[in-house]
Structure 1
Amino acid sequence: MAAIVALVVALALVVVKVWAWVTTGSISLLTSAADGLVDVVASTVTFAGVRYAAMPADRGHRYGHGKAEAVAAFVQALLLAGAAVGLAVESVQRLFIPQALNQTGFGIWVIVGSSLAAAGLVAMQTLVVRRTGSTAIAADRAHYVTDVAVNIAVLIALLLEQFLGWSRADAIGALAISVYMLWNARGMAVHALFQLLDRELDEADRARIEAAVLACDGVQGIHDIRTRDSGDRIFVEFHVEVDGALTVEEGHAISDNAEKAVQRLFPSTDATAHLEPAGIKDERLDDLVK
């Protein structure tokens, strides 16, 4: 639902901003409209990514389809970066060859309305991200946070043009927006790559996992913790050490308890424990990492 609402709002804002750009000739409005067009494509990608990521595990994808959200977020980052570079070039040209604007008052009202719509959408998406942890919706929200900032920059540029006659304010505003878009694209790409490249959870989360397992009855040690964020779920694997004299059934019960303790730490977790007798000497991932 969040993806569909974002797509509808993005389409409406693009139409209105293009109309305002044609009317006023403002490069800042064109920058905002282009950013909105990227939002339309990004929201479409987000919708497809969220739908695909929601599919359950199947024969070909036994870890699920959660990384589709990270792919969608990375595509959004590329689109945003491409738009930013193109608009920056146009802004620099306008900086050296300024052009007079028309009907700036109309453009100001369009930007004010667009800002309110984008702010409402950001508020809705923030609630969705808190509830679901969706990477794709979070990336989409970053787009609309950018949109709010873009609209504010456009509004300032149009006000300076309207009331002070600063002919280059429009181009300067557009250039500042382009730089901000590029910075946002970088952050989105980095976050998506963390998931796509199976980056470990941070040290604080790893410490929580270790503490939860060691607190279980019968656990004498833990090593070789491996974690990754797959978008819809967090996967955790670890070796749990128990008394070697226990029966397989007793050891299995301890492992189950350890897995459940880890699953309680995060909203959606797939935990897998490998049972080992305490004190065994074998090749360990921890040693290889060190």
Structure 2
Amino acid sequence: MDGADARQLGTRNARLLRLATYASISVALALIVLKAAAWYMSGSVSLLASLIDSLMDAGASLINLVAIAYALTPADKGHRFGHGKAEALAGLAQSVFIAASALLVLQQGIDHLLHPRPVEAAWVGVAVMLVSILATLGLLGFQRHVIRHTGSTAIRADALHYRSDLLMNISIIVALILAYYGLPGADALFGIAIALLIGFSALQIGRDAVQILMDHELPDAVRKEALALARAVPGVIDVHDLRTRESGQQWFMQLHLELPGELSLTDAHELGEQVRHAIIRRFPQADVLVHKDPVHETAAAQTPTAD
């Protein structure tokens, strides 16, 4: 992939990321209006849980919008490696939002369990939840497409939350039907279960964000493939000290090539470029830095080194 192709890929990914944040905000705002009306009519704690969750969705999506816009800005003198980690910061902020919503829903669920209240207009809530399920499925389909092309941490965190929303919406429908048929305690119990599910999602999102902020290595499968690509270049004796990390839309890889010591500087540089381009062709989002280590005949005959 040449420079023009890489720029075209970057432009397409930026457009997809922005569209994903706009779609997420639009869906969240529409569902807030519907759920607020249904909760006002029914008084259901599980509907309140879903309403609060949608409010958190809207807040998290706004954070994503700002963070992704910043993450997509080019590298500058103060940020030589770009601004990609803003996406991970957005994911970490989302986890805090989601955890706060889980605590609020848990408190309401316990209160309604201790002081049962009748649920009114249950079928209105059921209708709203069905609409919510359809809207969420459509959004998740688009988010899956964006994640497949961009690998965005922020969008992945958003999608994780919306996937938990599907289970939440189904459980709310069950709770409302049970409450309608004389089991009001089911609404509170489902609200508490939803709160625990939301809290678990917050932990997952926060963990993934922290891994990126702490420069965790890329997946083993990616590392093994990068090493295999480098070792497959004719003239390369071996590869070691592969280091990788992720920052927004970009991956960073550093590796040491073991090359014949008698090579000229020009030839060694050419081999290094062949390795770099071989990896970039497979992983166009990678920024690859290659260091060349001269190896003489006695050393080359020894067992290859590990990465």
- TM-score range with shorter-chain normalisation? over 0.9
C-alpha contact (below 8 Å) 1:54/1:65 kept by paired residues: yes
More deviation, 91-100/199-208: 199-208
The aligned counterpart of 2:30 is 12
CA distance in structure 1 between the aligned counterparts of 2:33 and 2:101, rounded to whole angstroms: 17
CA distance in structure 2 between the aligned counterparts of 1:195 and 1:104, rounded to whole angstroms: 43
CA distance in structure 1 between the aligned counterparts of 2:128 and 2:156, rounded to whole angstroms: 26
SS state of the match for residue 264, structure 1?
A: helix
The aligned counterpart of 1:200 is 217
- 2:126 alignment partner, one of 88, 108, 116: 108
The aligned counterpart of 2:167 is 149
CA distance in structure 1 between the aligned counterparts of 2:284 and 2:161, rounded to whole angstroms: 25
C-alpha contact (below 8 Å) 1:221/1:278 kept by paired residues: no
Cα shift at 1:19:
1.4
CA distance in structure 2 between the aligned counterparts of 1:15 and 1:62, rounded to whole angstroms: 43
- Sequence identity percentage: 37
The aligned counterpart of 2:57 is 39
SS state of the match for residue 121, structure 1?
A: helix
Cα shift at 1:225:
0.8
C-alpha contact (below 8 Å) 1:88/1:178 kept by paired residues: yes
The aligned counterpart of 2:245 is 228
- 1:246 alignment partner, one of 250, 263, 278: 263
SS state of the match for residue 83, structure 1?
A: helix
The aligned counterpart of 1:118 is 136
- 2:272 alignment partner, one of 255, 264, 267: 255
2:71 is equivalent to residue 53 of structure 1 = yes
The aligned counterpart of 1:165 is 182
Q: Which amino acid aligns with 1:272?
A: L
CA distance in structure 2 between the aligned counterparts of 1:236 and 1:50, rounded to whole angstroms: 22
Q: CA RMSD in A?
A: 1.8
Cα-to-partner distance string for 1:132-160 (whole Å, 9 max, x where unaligned)? 21111111111211222211111110011
Cα shift at 1:33:
0.2
After TM superposition, list the pairs within 5 Å mapping 1:269-288 onto structure 2. Answer: 269-278=286-295
Q: Which amino acid aligns with 1:133?
A: G
The aligned counterpart of 2:157 is 139
CA distance in structure 2 between the aligned counterparts of 1:56 and 1:88, rounded to whole angstroms: 42
SS state of the match for residue 75, structure 2?
A: coil
The aligned counterpart of 1:86 is 104
More deviation, 202-211/165-174: 202-211
Cα shift at 1:250:
0.6
CA distance in structure 2 between the aligned counterparts of 1:234 and 1:44, rounded to whole angstroms: 25
Q: Structure 1 segments of 4 or more deviating over 6 A?
A: none
Unmatched runs of 5 consecutive residues or more in structure 2: 1-18, 300-304
The count of residues paired between Structure 1 and Structure 2 equals 283
Q: Which amino acid aligns with 1:196?
A: L
C-alpha contact (below 8 Å) 1:10/1:39 kept by paired residues: yes
The TM-score, its normalising length taken from structure 2, stands at 0.88
The TM-score, its normalising length taken from structure 1, stands at 0.93
Cα shift at 1:202:
2.6
